[in-house]
Every structure is written in structure tokens, then in C-alpha cells.
């Protein structure tokens, strides 16, 4: 069957259409992505204002037309931290429902972490052993660890690259004291969670997902996306540590000229790099592998599992 996943994230609204059935690998058929940057459209009180809601409704309507054009049989719509943390989340969901008939499911941070972990586990398989999965989104950071398809530990922190850029790095390029203050904040927040994971032992394989990690790996020398999904892509901490001060000295426009860095994400790449560097350092990770699958694929896999009699659970 043809499934569509509608992901209302902090940076983009992304419709991913796949051909899928239980027991088989979902095959991508179409991708429709619109940059919305909801995290940057928040009012001073933390709510999504009228302009943000108007834009969100418009973008969802565009995605629905694309889903219809591509013959989607079932749509799986969900929202993450930008809607979850908005002060008027209920009003946003009600308006989307009233004007588009889309019932957005708001994922908790823990659900995000578990579903992303499921996707990574299925991608790498049981032979990968104990997995540590790190995902940097626009609004939040998710970390999960475990041996099975359900992680033994999962946390979500408000350390998304878009959120941090808007709140901590107003300069272009940012001032050195702004970067230092954000670095301290990020490391303090992550350090509070390390003990929860370290008691479970060292992972056998460390995996990262998200556009941020893909871009950081690319500027560190990993193969370009044009070389395909199945090419191994790694990020080494030594490489990342050498790039952070260079990114801090660059303007947004200069970062956009780096290999693999999109113009829309260039502004928040430094904040993402600080989160990635802190995560790798505090968890003692020297290198990690970038996983092509992430949250959207996790949502699809869980839906397929339920169609298959509910034997597996995410």
C-alpha cells in the first residue's frame, strides 16, 4: 500500500510517501518538503501567532494535495516539539483540524526518541548490538539506548538547533561570548542525563540521525548524498572539534557555501555542531555512523507492525 507520513517539525513540514507492506523495506516514492521554521515564528509568550498558524494551515493543504496526487491511501500526520511546546498547542491543533481535516498527533519527546531508535535498529539490525542513537532536530535533542527495538533509556531535551539559534545566537556571525554561553548551557543540560545511560554500559554502536548530523558529516569529508543511501557515512569527534571554531567565525552565508549545507539550515548549523560536539564528548564517543532512517521511518515501521498483527511494538 502507499503510505504518507506528514511530519510537522520545527524546521519543515515534510510529506514522505512510501510504498510499503508488513515484512518489507518501505520504498520511498515521493518527498514534498516546505521550510516553515515554526520554532522561529513563536510569539514572546511561546505561542504560535496568527501568521504562523496561517502559514502552517497553508503548507498542510499543499502537502495534502501532493499526497492526493501521489495516490496515498493512508496519511500518518504528526507534530513534534514546535507544536508540542507552543503555549497555544490546543488552539493550533483545533484550527488545523477545522480547516484541513487533519488530526495531527503530537508526539512526546520520549515517543520521538523511541521511534527514531526503532528506525535505527531496523536499519542496522541485531548484529549492531547495543545502540546509542542521537538525533538533533530543530526544537529538541533525542537520545536513546538499548539492545532491543524498545530502548532501555530515552530522553528528550530542549536543545534543537533552530531553538538554540533563535534564543542564543542572534549575531551573524555570533559574538564569542554568545557561543561560549551556549556551549556551557548545552553541556550542562546534556551532562544531567549522562548517568542514566552510563549505568547501562558502553554501546556497541553509536548512531546519529537528522539533517544536522548529515551536514556535519559531509563537511567532515563523508560521501555526498548523491552517492546513495547505502554508503557508510561517519562523523569523527576530532573532525567536529576542528570545525566548531571555524563555523563560529563564519557568517550564515559563508556556511551555506560549505559542501552539503543547505541555505535554509546554514544559520543553525553552529548550534547543531555545539550540541553534536557536547553529546559526543560527554558520552565518550570518538566516532559515530549516520543513519539514513529516522523519525518518519520509525512512524511508518510502527504502523506496518500494527498491520502485521501487532507482534512488534515501538
305 part of a folded domain: no
In a domain, 18, yes or no: yes
Quick one: pLDDT band at residue 43, thresholds 50, 70, 90?
Answer: confident
Give the separation between CA 145 and CA 204, rounded to whole angstroms.
10
Q: Is residue 304 part of a domain?
A: no
**Overall number of domains in the chain:** 2
Q: What is the pLDDT of residue 310?
A: 46
Name the β-bridge partners of 76: 5
Tell me, yes or no, whether 191 lies in a domain. yes
Q: Residue 164: exposed, middle, or buried by beta-carbon count in 10 A (0-12, 13-18, 19+)?
A: buried
State yes or no: pLDDT of 314 exceeds 70.
no
Check whether 101 has a pLDDT greater than 60. yes
Indicate whether 115 belongs to any domain. Answer: no
CA distance 227 to 214: 13
- Residues 132 and 227 placed together within one structural domain of the fold: yes
The predicted-structure confidence for 108-143, as pLDDT tens digits, reads as follows 999 999 999 999 999 999 999 999 999 999 999 999
Q: What is the pLDDT of residue 312?
A: 43
21 falls within a domain: yes
Pairing of strands 105-106, 74-79: parallel
Average pLDDT of the chain is 95
Residue span of the structural domain in which 74 resides: 2-106
User: Do residues 102 and 141 both lie within one domain?
Assistant: no
Instruction: List, for residues 17-29, the tens digit of each pLDDT value.
Output: 999 999 889 999 9
Contact between residue 112 and residue 80 where contact means Cβ atoms under 8 Å apart? yes
Q: What CATH code is carried by the domain that includes residue 148?
A: 3.30.420.150
pLDDT tens digits along 217-257: 999 999 999 999 999 999 999 999 999 999 999 999 999 99
Q: In the predicted model, is pLDDT for residue 191 greater than 60?
A: yes
Which residues contact residue 267 at a Cβ distance below 8 angstroms, ignoring those fewer than 6 apart? 165, 172, 252, 255
User: Does one domain contain both 137 and 273?
Assistant: yes
Residue 176 has pLDDT above 70, yes or no: yes
| Per-residue cell: 196 | 542514566
For residues 141 and 255, state if they share a domain: yes
Q: Does residue 313 sit within a domain?
A: no
Q: How far apart (Å, rounded) are the C-alpha atoms in residues 166 and 289?
A: 28
Q: Which three cell numbers stand for residue 151?
A: 530502548
Q: Are 222 and 235 in contact (CB under 8 A)?
A: yes
Residues 99, 183: one domain? no
Amino acid at each position: 500500500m502507499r503510505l504518507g507520513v506528514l511530519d510537522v517539525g520545527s524546521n519543515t513540514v515534510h510529506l514522505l510517501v512510501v510504498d510499503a507492506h508488513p515484512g518489507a523495506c518501505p520504498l520511498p516514492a515521493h518527498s514534498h518538503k516546505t521550510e516553515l521554521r515554526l520554532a522561529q515564528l513563536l510569539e514572546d509568550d511561546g505561542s504560535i501567532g496568527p501568521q504562523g498558524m496561517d502559514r502552517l494551515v497553508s503548507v498542510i493543504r499543499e502537502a495534502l494535495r501532493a499526497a492526493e496526487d501521489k495516490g496515498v491511501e493512508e496519511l500518518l500526520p504528526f507534530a513534534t516539539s514546535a507544536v508540542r511546546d507552543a503555549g497555544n498547542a490546543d488552539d493550533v491543533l483545533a484550527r488545523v483540524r477545522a480547516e484541513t481535516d487533519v488530526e495531527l498527533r503530537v508526539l512526546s519527546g520520549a515517543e520521538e526518541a523511541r521511534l527514531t531508535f526503532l528506525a535505527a535498529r531496523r536499519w542496522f539490525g541485531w548484529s549492531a548490538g547495543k545502540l546509542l542513537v542521537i538525533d538533533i532536530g530543530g526544537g529538541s535533542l533525542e537520545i536513546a539506548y538499548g539492545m532491543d527495538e524498545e530502548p532501555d533509556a530515552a530522553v528528550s531535551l530542549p536543545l534543537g538547533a533552530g531553538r538554540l539559534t533563535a534564543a542564543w545566537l542572534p549575531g551573524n556571525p555570533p559574538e564569542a561570548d554568545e557561543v561560549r554561553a551556549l556551549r556551557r548551557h548545552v553541556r550542562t543540560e546534556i551532562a544531567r542525563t549522562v548517568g542514566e545511560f552510563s549505568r547501562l554500559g558502553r554501546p556497541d554502536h553509536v548512531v546519529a540521525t537528522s539533517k544536522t548530523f548529515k551536514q556535519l558529516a559531509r563537511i567532515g569529508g563523508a560521501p555526498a548524498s548523491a552517492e546513495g543511501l547505502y554508503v557508510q557515512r561517519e562523523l569523527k569527534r576530532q573532525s567536529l572539534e576542528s570545525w566548531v571554531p571555524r563555523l563560529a567565525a563564519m557568517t550564515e552565508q559563508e556556511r551555506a557555501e560549505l559542501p552539503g549545507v543547505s541555505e535554509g539550515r546554514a544559520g543553525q548549523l553552529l548550534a547543531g555542531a555545539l550540541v553534536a560536539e557536547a553529546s559526543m564528548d560527554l558520552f565518550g564517543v570518538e566516532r559515530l555512523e549516520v543513519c539514513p532512517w529516522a523519525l518518519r521511518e520509525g512512524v511508518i515501521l510502527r504502523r506496518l507492525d500494527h498491520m502485521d498483527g501487532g507482534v512488534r511494538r515501538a
